Amino acid sequence: MPKTLEGQITMEKTPSYFVTREAPARISAMSRDTKLIVVVRDPVTRAISDYTQTLSKKPDIPSFESLTFKNRTTGLIDTSWSAIQIGIYAKHLDNWLQYFPMEQILFVSGERLISDPAGELGRVQDFLGLKRIITDKHFYFNQTKGFPCLKKAEGSSKPHCLGKTKGRTHPNIDPEVVQRLRDFYRPFNMKFYQMTGHNFGWD
């Protein structure tokens, strides 16, 4: 990490820290005061989105339905498949709480980031001890993408939207499989809501 002066905040991001077993100990060893921001979304939608991204790179992978189950007849979910495993947020959070107190972790709702970006970024600014300068006037909703975009990126006259890899159309998944996944994640979601003191409304 670069050296940070008084009054500066240094940020770094990766999608894999939250689910990497060794990450909390390493980050804690580097700086125990680090504040952590994790964007989470409905684990079922997240798993389908994960699959959609892989499918775009490897069109010959098995169907979502066949990857979801260890045994389709018994309905046993394959928790070793990373697309499923990542969404068991309570399990990953347990690992982080061994190194960081809950006050140093902010969970941002992926759904609210789309429906109310300024509101959710207001929470981020508060968490980081920053003045709230990002408001509704900084965003417009891009109908084509289905996402909010920044009206003007820093130092540019053009709006900034998420890249081509975001907002892909999801394949149609068997509703029974979706329901089975909802049932599977429910207890983990409930535990996660309890741990964070925040109901994300995924059920």
Please check if 198 is assigned to a binding site: no
Task: Work out the burial of residue 62: count CB atoms within 10 Å of its CB; fewer than 13 is exposed, 13-18 middle, 19 or more buried.
Answer: exposed
Q: What is the bridge-based pairing of β-strands 76-77 and 69-71?
A: antiparallel
Q: What is the bridge-based pairing of β-strands 76-77 and 147-150?
A: unpaired
Q: Determine the angle formed by the axes of helices 175-196 and 89-96, rounding to 10 degrees.
A: 30
* Chain centre distance of CA 82: 14
Please check if 167 is assigned to a binding site: yes
Please check if 169 is assigned to a binding site: yes
Please check if 168 is assigned to a binding site: yes
Please check if 166 is assigned to a binding site: yes
Sign of the Cα torsion 151, 128, 86, 27 reads: positive
Q: Is 71 helix (H, G, I), strand (E, B) or coil?
A: strand
Binding residues: 41, 49, 166-170
Q: Which positions make up the binding site for 3'-phosphoadenylyl sulfate?
A: 41, 49, 166-170
